[in-house]
Every structure is written in structure tokens, then in C-alpha cells.
Structure 1
Amino acid sequence: MLSLYHAALLLLVVWLKPAACSVDQCGSLGAQLSIPNTTVNLSTYEANGTIIRLPGTVESCGGPDLVAHSTANLCRIVLVKATSTSSAVQIEAWLPDRDGWNGRLLATGNGGEGGCIDYATIQNGAGLGFASFGSNAGHNGSQGFDFFLNQPEVIQDFGHRAIHVEAEVAKEIIQQYYGSSVKKSYYAGCSTGGRQGFQNAHLYPEDFDGLLLGSPGVDWLRIVSSKGILARRIGWPDLESQSYVRPEQWKSIVDEQIRQLDPLDGVRDGIIDEPTKYRFDPETLACGTGVLNDSVCLSPQQVNSVRMAYEPIADSSGQIVYPAFELGSNTDVFSSNQKNGSAQLTYTILQDFWRGAVFNDSKWTPNNFSTADMDFALEVNPGGVNAWDSTDLSAFYERGGRIISYHGRNDETVTSALSERFYTTVQSKSNLSLNDIQSFYRLFFIPGMHHCAGGPGAWSIGNAQKYPFDSSRLDPQHNALMALVDWVESGSEPRTLVGTKYEDDDIGGNVVAQRTYCPYPSVSKWDGAGNITIASSWTCVAPSVCNS
């Protein structure tokens, strides 16, 4: 009979053996990984709960003091895959132990002009059992032009190639580490990541089974161009012009839009549910009306500037090509345009990308930006970055792929009307009925949500912009990634999503409101009787009924 000591020792050996095996397997993978044109830079086993320091991260990606958290017992692999003789994509893999892997792959995209690995989504994914991956889209950093200057192949990676490379490498790593093929492949990305996902579905429809795409920057070059065009419309860069609307005036302008338009959806909650439905007359803000005080009220020239700021954008031929900036959204992307008293856009992507990728000219500035500069960029389309040409999703549809897209109606960076246009264009290009398109692609608008996350509304639907997930809301009703998995694997259509607003936006903290959201073209409308902070008080109605 075993003594108590020997029994405990035996249990300890049994408990340690799987971990020791996993450590060995991780080390072996790093040494033996066989993928052409690939170099492994790091292979390390991380126990659940380990703080992972990332000192090599560049400043614009949160470095050098950025840390991540191991959310499972996992093997972490960092590698570089050459995509040409002059370009390469860095890929990070977080591989849960075999007994913790759910058989699924989760790949992630980037934001802005790329260059930063999406650690928040990787952490959440690994914690849920996904073999999770991220990439730097072919360059390190989210600010600057040097990595694009004279680097056409690097531009190709950012433009369209990096996510496909990530998907192929991820599947090969999974095969070699787990000894079996992935069961289902998923992708999650927001903003540029949403753009990358739609491009991938168009160009490489076999890569993923399900795509979760937030605030997608599908018309990327026009999105970025709009910041320069709108800045010029409000008088910039002539800061002394009578037409120039100063940065400090804009909060009062936007607050007044919300005050006037918020009640029109039937609920006074500080949120304009459907800003695309309304027009706003800035004449009401003119000096002398008494609406705004003398320090921020609008001169006649400024009234005209504000009016122009909310008009859609036309190309050089006069054709409308980009929707109007949405009422009630923060305007800093075009109105925060001076530094130390000199003209300078704080939205740096325009200058970076046009310098490095469009004109290949390190001296270029956006101070005289015009629709001709936008049109030229569209003509060049560096790296195939503009995903508006990706509206043919027929191959992805025919193979049974699924897409859940979401977009905040208070998005300050990518106007939500763009998602509406993209959705209807996909439908018309493939000649799909509403039932057909909803059988594989569902779009949810989130009133009161900023760009990708945050805002006054009940915006949290498991958006992987935040770490960690709320572990109490990992069901398909409250978590869009879980809804996507349920749709792909069980055929359960996401009829609604429930968004949650946490106190101080502290995910997992005190819940202050919830709301039911609906697949477009249906809209979420208060039932007129229930508590507006409770999800059951909101129902899905046809758009013709809304605001009646």
C-alpha cells in the first residue's frame, strides 16, 4: 500500500507530465517547424497567467513596456515569413495545449496603417481555446512613412497579402503542432482589420469559414482622404481665415446636434440612433441666435464651413464617392488640425501613406490636399489596399462562409453609412435576395458606439478590442465571436445581438444598460413602455416603421 507521501508524489508526477510534454513539444516545434522561407525567432512555453513582456515592440504599437497575458497553458511562436526578396510578415502564434485546444483557428488583423499585432484578440482567443494568430501586416509600427517608402512589396503585404499569408502559415503550424488539421478557421478584425477581412473573402475565399468584421475600412483610400478634404472645407490650413472653424468650437457644435436630434428616435439618451437619416442646419448656431455663447458661436463664413463639413464627398468629375461625416460624432479626425499654433493634422495616416505609398515623396504634406490627390491614389491603389473592389463575395458565399459585421453609429473614423453602401453593393453585385445575403452576411449597427469600441451606447458585444472578455457573457447572444461560431458550426442564425454598457466602460464590471441589436435592414427600436436600459425593451422593426 502506498504511503501518503508516495501517493502525493505520484499525483504530482501525473500532474506535471502533460505540462512537461507540452514544453517539450513547444521546443521541438520551434526547432523543427518546416515552412518554406520562414524563420522562427522565438519558441517558448507560457503557463496560464504568465505576464509576457514584449520589449521589442515599437512605440507606436505600445512599446517598449507593452505586456501581454498568457490566457492558457500555451506554446508561443514568433516567426517571420518572407513574402518576396524584399518583404516579410511577422506572425505570432499562441497555441493552447492539446487538451485545451478547441480545434479552431482564430486569425486577427490590424488597425490604421497596420504594423501592430492585435494582442487583445489573441489573448481572448487563446483563453477560449482557439489557436490564435496575429501579424504585423509586413512592417513594424502604426505611424511613419519610412516602411512604405521605396518598398512596393511591403505595400503589397499591407494592401492585401498579409492576412492570406497569416492564414496559410497558421494552418501549417497547427498541422505540425497538433498533428491534425484545423476543424474551422475564423478571423476577427476591426477598422483596417475589417477591410482586410473583406478583401480576404474576395481574393482568398478558402482561407476562413467565418469572419467577424467591425467598422470595416473597405473604402480605405477615400476614408483616409476624407480627413484632408474635410479639413480643407473648414478653412484649414489658413488658421487666420474667416472661414476657419477652430478646434475648440467643435464640441459645442456636436453637442448641439445631439441635443436637437437625439429625441427624434423616441428616446432621449444622448444617442442619435440613425444619424444618416437627418440633416442639420448650422445656421441655428450662428452668433446672435443665442444657442451658443459668443466664444464658440459661428460667423456667417463659419456657418458655411460647418455646412460643407457634413456634405458627402465627390470626386473630380462630380460623382459622389464617399458618404457625409455622421452627425453627433467626434470631429477630431479633421478638426484637430493645429499644433503649437501651426497647421498640422493630428490624423497622421494621410500624410504617412501618401508620402510613403502613393507619391513616394518624403517631403509631401496634406496642406493642399484635394479631390485630385484622392483620385490619384485610387488610380494607383497601392498594394490593392482599397477593398471597395471586394464587393464580389460570391465565391465565399458559395462555399458556405459566414460573415458577421458590426458598425457603430457614432463612429468618428469610418462613417457607418459606408457599411450600408457596401452591404447593398454586395447584394446587388451578386443579384442576391435579402434572404440570400442574410444567409451568409449579417450587418449589425450599434447606436452610440465609437470606432470599433467605446461610446455612450451599449457597445460591448465581445468586441475583441478589449482584454479580457467578460467571462459571464460568452454566449452567442452577447458575444459576436461566439455567435459566429454557432452560425458556422450549428447553422444557428444570429437573429439579434445584445450589447452591454459597463460603468466607466470597465468590461466585466457593473452593467448600466443593455440593448438588443438587429441585422440590417431591421433597426432596434424601443417598445415605448419598458425600461430603456433593459435589452427586452428593444425590438427589431422594419426600417419604414422606425421614427414614425
Structure 2
Amino acid sequence: MAPSTTTGILLPLLFATSSLAQNTTAPCAISTFSSLSGVEISTVEALQSRSTLLLPDLVPSCGGPNKNVTVSADICRLVANVRTSDSSSIRIEAWLPENWNNRFLATGTGGTGGCIDYSRLQGGAQLGFAAFGTNAGHDGSSGHEFFLNQPEVINDFGHRAIHVEAEVGKQITALFYGREASKSYYDGCSTGGRQALQEAAMYEDDFDGILAGAPGVDWLKIVASKAILARRIGWPGLNSSAYVRPEQWQAIVTKQIELLDGLDGKKDGILDSPQNICFDPALLACGTGVLEQDLCLHPDQVQSVEKAYQPLINGAGDIIYPPFIIGASTGVFSNNQKDGKPILNYSLVRDFWRGAVYNNSDWTENNFTLSDLDYALFINPGGVNSNSRDLSRFHKRGGKVLAYHGLVDTTVTPLLSMEFYKGVQAAVGLSLEEMQSFYRLFLVPGMDHCSTGPGAWNIGQVYPLDSKRLDAANNALLALVDWVESDKAPEFLTGAKYQNDSVSQPILAERRHCPYPSKSRWDGRENRNDARGWACGYV
């Protein structure tokens, strides 16, 4: 059994047991939460559905100071800081809906954290969850200053914030509604997916069900890969014969899709199984006529492109991070110049290594090598890269994991989710059937990082929600609830592609997405844009 708190968390019992005796919703007032200790409440307010919530205090990298969001239900909103050590605290925000479904929902962050995920608060509250978000211990998703000389802030981001959010959030929920939540859930993507699976491994009692999108496990390797891949394609030597320019990469990916799209039986701009495709960049060499003369690859560039699609390998020859995926936009490592100077547009490398790894504002990523990654893995700031593959305790207590990953993810290669799934299976010692009973991974062709893309990517993971698709077949969170509470494991999730990616517009295509390692197959008869023409199978 995991400890109820992590060393350094200054959280006494937050309310008396007698507070749970009431069975009616308490007033939306600070007095309702006065028994909380170690919690500094800044806002308690009642908000009506469809009203506009202004958020003037947000830092620019979180969308401030002019950001506003639509309130998705009649709620009591609470904002508070929770002390996690003598030198750190996290902010949590609660949306407590009037029409509560008796469930608790925590949400995570993205990137280096620092921004409350309002989209998931909106969606959760609309569905009736007592929904919570956190800033993971600092304000902002870009920059390094908040980590400098702040080991406890790094600990919050690395492993502690979601656990504290879960503990305090459940108690806030009980104070407001007069009873504990019947079930507890988590929803997060990218870094939020990492937080999800670390939670399951470290604090198995926090959640009954976990929804993990594009989970950023092995987080340091994910971030470091962008600098390593940039070096592989000739950067920062912008004038070197090996350097492949950003506009060439756009042409490369476009040509990959054009040449390989028909392998799945239909040319629709989507590669159904890019993980199974081998691509020879020599096809794009100058002289082949495949690319225009100003975009074609010279010999050293052919080698650079080949290296870009190879895995990260350590000095012992072991694969430590899977390769980038064919057909995905390469901007995370190929957009690496500004005004003619080398600069990596993917700023997480610079931010985290400056602030949390080296604690040095002058450090630059221009000479990044595997040794920089090795050092980060050795010190593992805040436990951010803790191995969370051993989910045996979470499995034993009956927890469920529903994960999803887009097959054109530009930030976290979907091959990592496949490798992680196999790693959990090995660590827990389960057959495939036993794995499917508690952990299901859905791979989504044509989905980018967490959402968007040319495929039928919408599985209810972003706000606004489509009121016509609020059921377990079309909404991943509701599928998780059905699994946890009714033991109905999701046989598929139906994704939708909307015109202009707006739920207010018509649906252009629907498709069934299947639990790995099965695959979604088109029957060749029904309209390819109709979900009824897709079925799951292992062939």
C-alpha cells in the first residue's frame, strides 16, 4: 500500500470525520471549507452555466491575461493554494457542479506544467463530475526561472502535485456535497498522461479509473529526443551539407503520405499503420524526380533523414527511446532556426535542462548530446522520469487504465505507448487477456498530439463536447466510467472528424478505434466514413 502522502508534504487531516455526516450540498462560501488546514483559499464563487469566467491573473504562457472560458454547468468554483513543503505549494481549482454525478475527477497538465487544464474542467463539470485542476506547483508552461534553486517546486512537477490534488480534492468534494465521492477518476494527456501512470504506480489508491492520453512516460527521453534529432539532421550547422531545411521536411512528410497512403486500401490522407511502414529516404534524392529540384535531398541529407527515423540508442547499444513516426509533422525537431540563426523551437529542452537539470540560466541546447540526457536520467529531477511500468498494486486493487495515442503524434511517438504497454504486461506478469481486463490502449490513425489531425480523432477528450455523443461508445471518459462501475470493457471507441474540427459543424467521418494489439479494419463495402464499416481484428 502506498503512503498517503510523500515526504515533505505538510498536510494534516483536513477536516473532521463529523463533517461527512451531512447529506446535502453545502453553501458555496468560504465558510463551507473553513475546516481545511494547510490550504489557503483565494476564491469561492457561484457561477451559472454558459456564463463567462474571466481569468486575468494567468501568465502569458497559460493564455493570460485576457483569457476567458465558458462555464459549462451551474457550479461552485473554488481556487486555493495547498502547501506541499516549507518552500512550495500547488494551486488547485475546483468546479463543483450543482448536478453532481457522485464522482471525483482530477486532471493534469501539459509540457512543464504550470497551467490548469480548463478544457478538462469544463468537460468534467458538464458531465457532472466534481472536477479539479492544478498548476503542478508553478505558474507558466514556458521558461526556466520557476525551477531555478527550487528543488521542492521540481518535486511538485515531477511526482507530487497530482497526488496532493487527489487527496485535497476529495476532501473538498466531501465538504461541499456532504459525502465522499463514490468513485475517483483522472483525465490527462501528454505530461498529464505521464502524471496518470506515475499516479497508478506510486499511489494506487488515488483513482479507480485513469484516462491517459499520449502518455509522456520516460519524459526526459521524450524531451531530449527533439534536440538529438535536430543534431542528427545537421543542426546547428545551418550551412552544412547534412542540414535538412524546414521546408524540405514539409515536402518529405507530404511525399511520405502521398507514396504510402494506398497501402491500407484507400487513399484518404491517413496512414492506418505507420508503425509498420519502412521508408527509404533515398526515394527523395536529387535525380529521382520525386521532389522538386530545390527540395530534393543531396547525399548527406539522405543520411540525415535516415538517422531522423532511427531510435535513440545508448552507449551499450540499447534502444532507450523509439523512433519518430512516419507521416507525422517533424516540426518539433526540424523547425530549428529563426532569422537565420540556429534556435530550437521546441523550448522544453532549453527550459528544463536550464532550470531543473543544470540549474544554469546560461546553458544552451546547441551542443546537446546523449551525455546531457544521461546526466538528467542520473539525477532524475523531481522523480519526473520514474519508471511507472509496475502497475501491479493498481491492478490488484481493481484499477482500470484507458489510454489513447494518435498515430501521427508529433511530440510523443506512439511507439512509446506500445512499448510501455508491453512493459506493463511483463512487469505485472499478465497474459494478453489479463492485460485487457485492466489496461486498454487505443491507437488512433490520423490523430496528432492529444487531439486534432486528419483522422477521426474526437473521442470526447476536448471541450466543447458534442451533446449527441455523450455515451460510452463515443466518449473516452464515459467509457472508462462504464468499465470501472459496470465492468463493461470498451470493445472500441468511435472517433469523429468534424468539419473544421468544430463540434458545431457536421461530422465528416466516424471510425471505430480498437484496443491494442487489435486493429481497426475497413470491410471494403460500407462507406469508409461510416463507423459501421470498421471492425476490430488481429489480422
Which of 510, 516, 519 is the equivalent residue of 2:512?
A: 516
Quote how far apart the aligned CAs of 1:127 are.
1.1
Q: Does 1:461 align with 2:459?
A: yes
Output one character per residue of 1:74-125: Cα deviation in whole Å (capped at 9) or x when no partner.
Answer: 110000001001110000011112xx11100111000111000000110111
The separation in 2 between residues aligned to 1:495 and 1:185, in whole angstroms, is 22
Query: Given residue 50 of structure 2, which amino acid in structure 1 is its aligned partner?
Result: G
The separation in 2 between residues aligned to 1:95 and 1:506, in whole angstroms, is 26
Query: Given residue 27 of structure 1, which amino acid in structure 2 is its aligned partner?
Result: A
Q: Counterpart of 1:25?
A: 27
The separation in 1 between residues aligned to 2:134 and 2:264, in whole angstroms, is 41
Q: Tell whether the 8 Å contact from 2:312 to 2:319 is kept in structure 1 after alignment.
A: yes
Query: Given residue 400 of structure 2, which amino acid in structure 1 is its aligned partner?
Result: R
The separation in 1 between residues aligned to 2:46 and 2:68, in whole angstroms, is 16
Q: Does 1:162 align with 2:161?
A: yes
Query: Given residue 178 of structure 1, which amino acid in structure 2 is its aligned partner?
Result: Y
The separation in 2 between residues aligned to 1:529 and 1:101, in whole angstroms, is 44
Query: Given residue 490 of structure 1, which amino acid in structure 2 is its aligned partner?
Result: S
Q: Does 1:398 align with 2:399?
A: no
Q: Tell whether the 8 Å contact from 1:496 to 1:517 is kept in structure 2 after alignment.
A: yes
Q: Counterpart of 2:532?
A: 536
The separation in 1 between residues aligned to 2:176 and 2:435, in whole angstroms, is 37
Q: Counterpart of 2:282?
A: 283
Quote how far apart the aligned CAs of 1:256 are.
1.1
The separation in 2 between residues aligned to 1:535 and 1:102, in whole angstroms, is 30
Q: Tell whether the 8 Å contact from 1:29 to 1:176 is kept in structure 2 after alignment.
A: no
Quote how far apart the aligned CAs of 1:33 are.
2.8
The separation in 1 between residues aligned to 2:78 and 2:392, in whole angstroms, is 35
Q: Counterpart of 1:103?
A: 102
The separation in 2 between residues aligned to 1:335 and 1:33, in whole angstroms, is 52
Q: Tell whether the 8 Å contact from 2:30 to 2:41 is kept in structure 1 after alignment.
A: no
Q: Counterpart of 1:407?
A: 405
Which of 477, 480, 502 is the equivalent residue of 1:481?
A: 477
The separation in 2 between residues aligned to 1:438 and 1:208, in whole angstroms, is 18
Q: Counterpart of 1:9?
A: none
Show the 5 A alignment for 1:341-490. 341-387=340-386, 389-463=387-461, 466-490=462-486
The separation in 1 between residues aligned to 2:40 and 2:369, in whole angstroms, is 43
The separation in 1 between residues aligned to 2:533 and 2:452, in whole angstroms, is 22
Quote how far apart the aligned CAs of 1:36 are.
2.4
The separation in 1 between residues aligned to 2:41 and 2:492, in whole angstroms, is 43
Report the TM-score when normalising by structure 1: 0.93
Q: Tell whether the 8 Å contact from 1:469 to 1:508 is kept in structure 2 after alignment.
A: no
Q: Does 1:186 align with 2:185?
A: yes
What SS does the corresponding residue of 1:124 show, helix, strand or coil? helix
The separation in 2 between residues aligned to 1:330 and 1:216, in whole angstroms, is 19
Quote how far apart the aligned CAs of 1:267 are.
2.1
Query: Given residue 422 of structure 2, which amino acid in structure 1 is its aligned partner?
Result: T
Query: Given residue 489 of structure 2, which amino acid in structure 1 is its aligned partner?
Result: E
Output one character per residue of 1:193-240: Cα deviation in whole Å (capped at 9) or x when no partner.
Answer: 000000000000000011111000001000001000000000000111
The separation in 2 between residues aligned to 1:412 and 1:506, in whole angstroms, is 21
Q: Tell whether the 8 Å contact from 2:100 to 2:129 is kept in structure 1 after alignment.
A: yes
Show the 5 A alignment for 1:112-191. 112-191=111-190
Quote how far apart the aligned CAs of 1:522 are.
0.2
Q: Counterpart of 1:240?
A: 239
Structure 2 CA distance for partners of 1:29 and 1:437, relative to 1, 3 Å: farther
Cα RMSD between the aligned structures? 1.1
Q: Does 1:268 align with 2:270?
A: no
Quote how far apart the aligned CAs of 1:337 are.
0.2
Q: Counterpart of 2:17?
A: none
Q: Tell whether the 8 Å contact from 1:29 to 1:177 is kept in structure 2 after alignment.
A: no
Show the 5 A alignment for 1:37-76. 37-76=38-77
Q: Counterpart of 1:527?
A: 523
Aligned length: 516
The separation in 2 between residues aligned to 1:309 and 1:155, in whole angstroms, is 31
Q: Counterpart of 1:491?
A: 487
Query: Given residue 47 of structure 1, which amino acid in structure 2 is its aligned partner?
Result: Q
Q: Tell whether the 8 Å contact from 1:262 to 1:272 is kept in structure 2 after alignment.
A: yes
The separation in 2 between residues aligned to 1:73 and 1:501, in whole angstroms, is 29
Query: Given residue 523 of structure 1, which amino acid in structure 2 is its aligned partner?
Result: K
The separation in 2 between residues aligned to 1:317 and 1:366, in whole angstroms, is 24
Structure 2 CA distance for partners of 1:243 and 1:52, relative to 1, 3 Å: same
The separation in 1 between residues aligned to 2:436 and 2:318, in whole angstroms, is 30
Q: Counterpart of 2:327?
A: 328
The separation in 1 between residues aligned to 2:526 and 2:122, in whole angstroms, is 37
Q: Which moved more, 1:78-87 or 1:311-320?
A: 311-320
The separation in 1 between residues aligned to 2:256 and 2:508, in whole angstroms, is 25
Quote how far apart the aligned CAs of 1:318 are.
2.4
What SS does the corresponding residue of 2:28 show, helix, strand or coil? helix
Query: Given residue 39 of structure 2, which amino acid in structure 1 is its aligned partner?
Result: T
The separation in 2 between residues aligned to 1:269 and 1:490, in whole angstroms, is 37
Quote how far apart the aligned CAs of 1:507 are.
2.0
The separation in 1 between residues aligned to 2:79 and 2:135, in whole angstroms, is 11
Query: Given residue 201 of structure 1, which amino acid in structure 2 is its aligned partner?
Result: A
Output one character per residue of 1:482-518: Cα deviation in whole Å (capped at 9) or x when no partner.
Answer: 1001111111110111100000111242000000111
Report the TM-score when normalising by structure 2: 0.94
Quote how far apart the aligned CAs of 1:29 are.
4.0
Q: Which runs of 5+ in 1 are unaligned?
A: 1-20
The structure 1 segments of at least 4 consecutive aligned residues displaced by more than 2 Å after TM superposition are 32-36
